[in-house]
Structure 1
Amino acid sequence: MIKKYATPLAMTISLVSGSTIAAENSSTAPETVAVTADRIEKQLNEQSVALSIISQEDIESIGHTHISQILNQVPGVSISRGNGQENLTAIRSGVLTGTGSCGAFYFAEDGIPLRAPGFCNVNELFDVNAEQAARIEIIRGPGTAVHGSNALNGVINVISQAPSTEPESHLSFEGGPDKYGRIKASHSDTNGKHGYRISLQGNHDDGYKDESGFDQQKMNLRHDYHGETWTIQSMLAASNLNQETAGYILGKDAYKNDDRKRENPNPEAFRNSSSARFYSRFEREGEKDSRFVVTPYLRYTEMEFLQHFLPETPLEENGERTVGLQSAFYQNYSENVTLYNGFDMEVTKAYLKQSQSEPTKGPFPTGPHYDYEVDALYSAWFIGGDWQATSSTKVNFGGRYDIQFYDYDNLMIDGNTAADGSACMPNGCRYARPADDKERFRNSSFNLGVVHSLSEHTDLTANAGHGFRAPQAAELYRLQTQQLSANLDEESLNSIEFGLRGDWNTFQYRTSIYWMHKNDVIIQDSNRSNINGGKTIDRGLEANFSWQLTPTLLWQLQASYSKHQYANNALTADGNEVDTAPRQLAGTLVRWSPFASTRIELEIQHQGEYFLEEDNLHRYPGHTLTNLRWRQQYGEQLYSVVRINNLTDIDYAERADYAFGNYRYFVGEPRAAYIEVGIDF
């Protein structure tokens, strides 16, 4: 068997679930494990990464209707909700926007990215079945040697539920305001060496805003095989979303105006998205304490949406087809040293189209704007190790080398014209199409960390890391005005972190302090050209506490204080704060179980004020939300859950910014009660 040492990246651990933390300190509880740091299971309390675990218990208790409600439980993480199922992500950063901003995050299911490198989508988390997951693992800061491109600011990995050892079925119904309804069903069993689980869910929401709402369906079908030589884990995942999208409302403090909260200035907007993924993970143990893991996989996505946030609301259509492979070999060379290495590759065929049905208006011509295909090849080799240097000190290290190829084929006329070659008056067309092109990017990343045990209950950690992201295809080929060649370089990020953590039977804490410097940030200049040259500095302090005050009363607190600044004047004045980057994020939860069949949770989440644009002239004041949840068990099979979001019914904005001379808001929903009834049999 592979010995379990620390993973290749040293940061601090941050847990979300109080029950999970308690399990670590119970001699009768099963081990708490995580796989995100290096693809094989390792005990969580032996790992040094800044890894937060959202447990299945918390996923089921929170019962999120949007991914932000569950991920915002983690210190240093802020998911801003758009309309419907849309979102923007921040991990130790401001909320990143723009064509390729999503390239700073590595979103995965069972360790396999939801999109190919170079083809991210800011909303791609709505593809994954997080609502029926076994757990969600989040790394804050640059990823490890097994991640590579896009693991710049963080990693979010949704872990699917494994088959049960005994027959198990679940069915639940949920209802809420605006004709919200959800049904979830699952069934699992194991027969000899074979186990399977099918998880299904469907949602309908008429939407709080006028002429909005969505229908969404997700499915996971997983099969596990445990043979004498090979262990094989296979899963087919699929999702479908049909959404009527509501846009921003405009005007200072418009989110406080009761007469405007349901206003939808873009009733014509919509988003349709479908995805399917399949993988089989083959794993075997070899001689001399070795292990080999290889995972071939397939990926398919299709999306079309009306870009209500752009003038004349053009329609975008995009998609990708991917064949990929992950592999890793692990070897114990002694009692104190484990080394691993592996090779990853993907072949992707992607396309993007944009067209306008509205009449030509100035620089916005009727008809096609973009129509291109990109054939991409991605390959990477990595190596890493764990060294138990002394009885109290562990050293972790890892390195990775990536190569990204793009072969771009423009299917329209080249240049800055309308589709028929005519000029846009008076100053040219908004959109520009480069000629056919090929690009290649080579990148390397590394991590080096130390975990030192100060005592039986206390650890000190230190870590240095370097991450990167290649330019996304849309940043290279979806150009504007007179730019016909982007000539972009990779973004890079350097990170240093120190942490302190403690574990006792009833009390646990995790704290960390970090500094990150991002170089060659891809920005859009005043001529609407995509260029490198931006720099940012991110500094912060994160803390997480859990205290089992009595056997029936648990208190948790997570908080972060950070400052995110521009480090040069490429976009705005040097030293200005990054927009949509609140300095304070905090949350506290009290869980009371007065009876074995009753659990009541009171949760408070706070988001501090933030600037709405890079010149720091306009602000959003922040807000504090209160949520209440009550779960009641009736016998061994039947249960009910009542969830009340925004209990105090405050006025707030899910997301705010200032652009084109206007305050813009996605309005937060008022007090809303959801009732779920379920049966396990």
Structure 2
Amino acid sequence: MLCFVGSSMVSAQSIDETNLESIENVVVTTSRLSNDTARLRDNLVQVDEETIQFVAPSHTQSLLNYVAGAGVQRGNGQEYLPALRSPVLTGASACGGILSAEDGIPLKAAGLCNINELFEAHSEMAERIEVVKGPASVLFGANAIHGVINVITPDTTVDGGLLGIDYGSYGYHRAKLRAGKDYGDTGVGINTSLTRDTGYRDGEGVDQQKVNVRHRYSGSDMLVTTGLSYTNLNQDTAGYITGKDSYKDRQIAQQNFDPLAFRDASSFRLWSRLEWQVSDDKFLSLTPYIRDQDMTFRMHFLPGTPFEENSQSGGGLLSQFRVEMSHNTVFDWGIDAEYSKGSLLQYQEGATLGSAFLVETVPSGKHYDYDVDVNMIAPFFALQWTQGPWQLDLGGRYERITYDYTNNMLSGRTREDGTECGFGGCRYSRPESGKNSFNAFSPKISLGYITSEGTHWFARVSRGYRAPQASELYRLQREQQVTELDTVTGNNIEIGVDGRLSNIDYTLAIYRLLKENVIYRDSDFFNINGGETLHKGVELSFDYQISADWRLQFAGTLAEHTYQHSQVLGDTDIRGNDMDTAPKTQFNTRLQYQVTANSHAELEWQHVSSYYTNAENTARYDGHDLVHLRLAHMLGDDWIVNLRINNLLDTDYAERADYTNFTGDRYFPGRPRNFMASVTYRY
């Protein structure tokens, strides 16, 4: 059930009426109809446009900090690892736990996700960012076990726009443009940003360009909205630094020990949403789309630092048909379908550096070279019934995903030319060409009740799922020649309440998610099913209007993420251990002060508690606290000037802490105190 969202930042909105009929209509991800009059159905939080422009994020992580339960960790440049009601997710399956989308369309094809895919969304210039917490598979399908992050681009088909410049420390600068024209029944507009960041660390840098183009046509009973998104990233990447607490040494933290690492990526998406009012009580939405993406990068985190080239192209259709069966009953159904063709090439130039074992088992030349065609089809339904203060939601989705895999190299764990590696064989193994298919059904039921005082109680039971990713099926290691993987599932129970107490809007939620059939790599380096993890936590968000000039906002979580299956790593059975990179406590607090009618200030405190960095729970990061200061001043009705001081107290911290048996403790160091100034003109 939904946590209602309102205000100018991220907060819960109380319900002032005793009947659901009075709830204000809001456009959200949980429907594909822009004029949706249905009730909100999911545990949704929004980061709105005012917040986005005030923060002027150089990375999406800065905005997701405002969502209780989110703990995204930034790597270097635009890289990151996701977390949403979960530990920080890593490995081949990490991107399969949280679905990333722009304007409701997944950024990547099911089965072909990429851990850094969210940098393809235009979050810097978004209208809002919507986060659905917990399984959302009824509408979104596979990969939405822990939730959905959906970036909504602005409607630029109306008159007006903006021009803006951001300028900051370490060579950061960004130009922003938004312009639109309304011609009545039609409209057209553009939303674009150009970014250059030379970076804090030696030899790092980001050049990034993003653009959204939109067209609108409206008739008497039809609305057609067409959008085009294009992004391009050229990044010089600084990798991990190693050594216990090395992030505290400014000289080490600033160094780049892999100056040849890079990432080049481009993406293109074109979609058109067609909406018809078929009759007074029937509505139809069809959204065909195509996407094309390419990426090349150096895998600086692997022995031998090989290169990877991957691409995918294809398209699909999202549909939704709504029947308002009565004044209190709404039925939705639809069929989603998608076809994508993906390819992956991993190769290494030159010999591996390191031990004799690594030199021999990680050879130069090609490691993987394959193509895979992915087909997906998924019918779904959702029924909503309201009666007085009660609301009941039922839904379900059946999804079938099929892979047609072609290996373009010799099968097995040999070198590219077929010769054997020493020490038992090469690290990388390539299965024979073949086909795999996976089926899953995800149901959901939720119940809500609004008291006479406007307090909203909710409870939900839902299931999420994901098929094995292509990288889990076809990028094998050691002696494994074939996988027999199955669908990963997550069963979620959640209860909560939101409402208003005096001047405080609040949301409190308690959840328990059990993931079964989890895919992991065993001691033989085989990808297998059989893992089980438990995720449970308490989330609290509130917005307290202390006085006319003072306001306090809070979003925090107390969570526990543990391994529930037996697996011996070294001499340790990890069953019952905390999952690695899973802080128990994270919160964000913002104190805002309206200095004058045209000026306001904000002090932000971001807390991340200590956490283990390995599954054996023998290595730990101490956590950190960061403070940021932001000021904004309006010059007349059209000009806005902003000043931001990030890491105000100049704290030494790690954006990400990790541990491996090969390197020991390793980190992506955070930036010292830095500044950004912005000037924006609205017209």
TM-score, shorter chain, exceeding 0.5: yes
**1:594 correspondence with 2:595:** yes
CA distance in 2: counterparts of 1:505 and 1:45, whole angstroms: 29
Q: Deviations over 1:253-290 (max 9, x none)?
A: 10111221101111110000000000000001122411
Matched residue SS, 2:251:
coil
1:270 maps to which residue? Answer: 262
Note if contact 1:377-1:406 (Cα within 8 Å) is conserved in structure 2.
yes
Q: CA deviation at 1:32?
A: 6.4
**1:261 correspondence with 2:253:** yes
User: Relative to structure 1, is the Cα distance of residues 164 and 235 closer, same or farther in structure 2, using a 3 angstrom cutoff?
Assistant: closer
Matched residue SS, 1:146:
helix
CA distance in 2: counterparts of 1:609 and 1:64, whole angstroms: 25
CA distance in 2: counterparts of 1:665 and 1:19, whole angstroms: 30
Q: CA deviation at 1:38?
A: 2.9
**1:534 correspondence with 2:531:** yes
1:337 maps to which residue? Answer: 329
User: Relative to structure 1, is the Cα distance of residues 536 and 645 closer, same or farther in structure 2, using a 3 angstrom cutoff?
Assistant: same
User: Relative to structure 1, is the Cα distance of residues 42 and 285 closer, same or farther in structure 2, using a 3 angstrom cutoff?
Assistant: closer
**1:461 correspondence with 2:458:** yes
Opposite residue 62 of structure 1, the aligned amino acid is: V
CA distance in 2: counterparts of 1:493 and 1:30, whole angstroms: 31
1:560 maps to which residue? Answer: 557
CA distance in 1: counterparts of 2:205 and 2:217, whole angstroms: 40
After superposition, residues 424-573 of structure 1 pair within 5 angstroms as 424-503=421-500, 506-570=503-567, 572-573=573-574
User: Relative to structure 1, is the Cα distance of residues 396 and 56 closer, same or farther in structure 2, using a 3 angstrom cutoff?
Assistant: same
2:356 maps to which residue? Answer: none
Note if contact 2:172-2:197 (Cα within 8 Å) is conserved in structure 1.
yes
- Structure 2 counterpart of 1:373, from 337, 361, 371: 371
Matched residue SS, 1:310:
coil
1:672 maps to which residue? Answer: 674
After superposition, residues 579-618 of structure 1 pair within 5 angstroms as 579-618=580-619
1:133 maps to which residue? Answer: 126
Note if contact 1:24-1:32 (Cα within 8 Å) is conserved in structure 2.
no
Matched residue SS, 1:362:
helix
CA distance in 1: counterparts of 2:11 and 2:247, whole angstroms: 38
After superposition, residues 41-190 of structure 1 pair within 5 angstroms as 41=34, 46-163=39-156, 165=158, 167-190=159-182
**1:644 correspondence with 2:645:** yes
CA distance in 2: counterparts of 1:195 and 1:497, whole angstroms: 42
Note if contact 2:478-2:526 (Cα within 8 Å) is conserved in structure 1.
yes
Note if contact 2:177-2:192 (Cα within 8 Å) is conserved in structure 1.
yes
1:315 maps to which residue? Answer: 307
- Structure 2 counterpart of 1:248, from 223, 237, 240: 240
Opposite residue 330 of structure 2, the aligned amino acid is: T
Note if contact 1:224-1:233 (Cα within 8 Å) is conserved in structure 2.
yes
Opposite residue 497 of structure 2, the aligned amino acid is: L
User: Relative to structure 1, is the Cα distance of residues 482 and 15 closer, same or farther in structure 2, using a 3 angstrom cutoff?
Assistant: farther
User: Relative to structure 1, is the Cα distance of residues 318 and 418 closer, same or farther in structure 2, using a 3 angstrom cutoff?
Assistant: same
Q: CA deviation at 1:31?
A: 4.8
**1:660 correspondence with 2:658:** no
**1:33 correspondence with 2:23:** no
Q: Deviations over 1:300-343 (max 9, x none)?
A: 11000000100010000001001110111000111111001000
- Structure 1 counterpart of 2:271, from 273, 279, 283: 279
Q: CA deviation at 1:144?
A: 4.5
Note if contact 1:380-1:402 (Cα within 8 Å) is conserved in structure 2.
yes
Q: CA deviation at 1:23?
A: 10
1:630 maps to which residue? Answer: 631
Higher mean alpha-carbon deviation, 194-203 vs 272-281, is at 194-203
- Structure 1 counterpart of 2:401, from 404, 419, 423: 404
Matched residue SS, 1:424:
coil
Opposite residue 351 of structure 2, the aligned amino acid is: P
CA distance in 2: counterparts of 1:43 and 1:340, whole angstroms: 12
1:5 maps to which residue? Answer: none
CA distance in 1: counterparts of 2:576 and 2:64, whole angstroms: 29
Q: CA deviation at 1:45?
A: 11
CA distance in 1: counterparts of 2:75 and 2:16, whole angstroms: 39
Note if contact 1:170-1:679 (Cα within 8 Å) is conserved in structure 2.
yes
CA distance in 1: counterparts of 2:36 and 2:281, whole angstroms: 18
TM-score by length of 2: 0.95
CA distance in 2: counterparts of 1:289 and 1:672, whole angstroms: 55
CA distance in 1: counterparts of 2:23 and 2:329, whole angstroms: 25
Q: CA deviation at 1:14?
A: 5.8
Q: Deviations over 1:10-67 (max 9, x none)?
A: 25446684487679879xx995624212323588995352210100001111110011
User: Relative to structure 1, is the Cα distance of residues 540 and 44 closer, same or farther in structure 2, using a 3 angstrom cutoff?
Assistant: farther
Q: Deviations over 1:435-484 (max 9, x none)?
A: 11100101110110000112232011011001100000010001111111
Q: Which runs of 5+ in 2 are unaligned?
A: 353-358
CA distance in 1: counterparts of 2:612 and 2:423, whole angstroms: 35
CA distance in 1: counterparts of 2:221 and 2:433, whole angstroms: 48
Opposite residue 202 of structure 2, the aligned amino acid is: D
Note if contact 1:471-1:490 (Cα within 8 Å) is conserved in structure 2.
yes
User: Relative to structure 1, is the Cα distance of residues 633 and 171 closer, same or farther in structure 2, using a 3 angstrom cutoff?
Assistant: same
Opposite residue 118 of structure 2, the aligned amino acid is: L
After superposition, residues 348-367 of structure 1 pair within 5 angstroms as 348-359=340-351, 361-367=359-365
Share of identical aligned residues, percent?
A: 39
2:355 maps to which residue? Answer: none
Note if contact 2:5-2:13 (Cα within 8 Å) is conserved in structure 1.
no
Matched residue SS, 1:340:
strand
User: Relative to structure 1, is the Cα distance of residues 17 and 518 closer, same or farther in structure 2, using a 3 angstrom cutoff?
Assistant: farther
- Structure 2 counterpart of 1:394, from 391, 396, 420: 391
Matched residue SS, 2:32:
coil
Note if contact 1:380-1:403 (Cα within 8 Å) is conserved in structure 2.
yes
CA distance in 1: counterparts of 2:38 and 2:608, whole angstroms: 29
The CA RMSD measured in Å over matched residues stands at 1.9
User: Relative to structure 1, is the Cα distance of residues 502 and 318 closer, same or farther in structure 2, using a 3 angstrom cutoff?
Assistant: same
TM-score by length of 1: 0.95
Note if contact 2:12-2:542 (Cα within 8 Å) is conserved in structure 1.
no
CA distance in 1: counterparts of 2:6 and 2:493, whole angstroms: 21
Q: Deviations over 1:488-546 (max 9, x none)?
A: 11110000000011136842100000111000111011111111111001110000011
Note if contact 1:17-1:55 (Cα within 8 Å) is conserved in structure 2.
yes
CA distance in 1: counterparts of 2:157 and 2:595, whole angstroms: 30
User: Relative to structure 1, is the Cα distance of residues 505 and 21 closer, same or farther in structure 2, using a 3 angstrom cutoff?
Assistant: farther
Note if contact 2:290-2:316 (Cα within 8 Å) is conserved in structure 1.
yes
Opposite residue 594 of structure 1, the aligned amino acid is: V
CA distance in 1: counterparts of 2:393 and 2:35, whole angstroms: 14
Q: Deviations over 1:136-186 (max 9, x none)?
A: 110111004111111111101111101354x31311111111111110011
1:4 maps to which residue? Answer: none
Q: CA deviation at 1:555?
A: 1.0
User: Relative to structure 1, is the Cα distance of residues 245 and 74 closer, same or farther in structure 2, using a 3 angstrom cutoff?
Assistant: same
Note if contact 2:15-2:455 (Cα within 8 Å) is conserved in structure 1.
no
User: Relative to structure 1, is the Cα distance of residues 504 and 221 closer, same or farther in structure 2, using a 3 angstrom cutoff?
Assistant: farther
Q: CA deviation at 1:204?
A: 0.6
1:7 maps to which residue? Answer: none
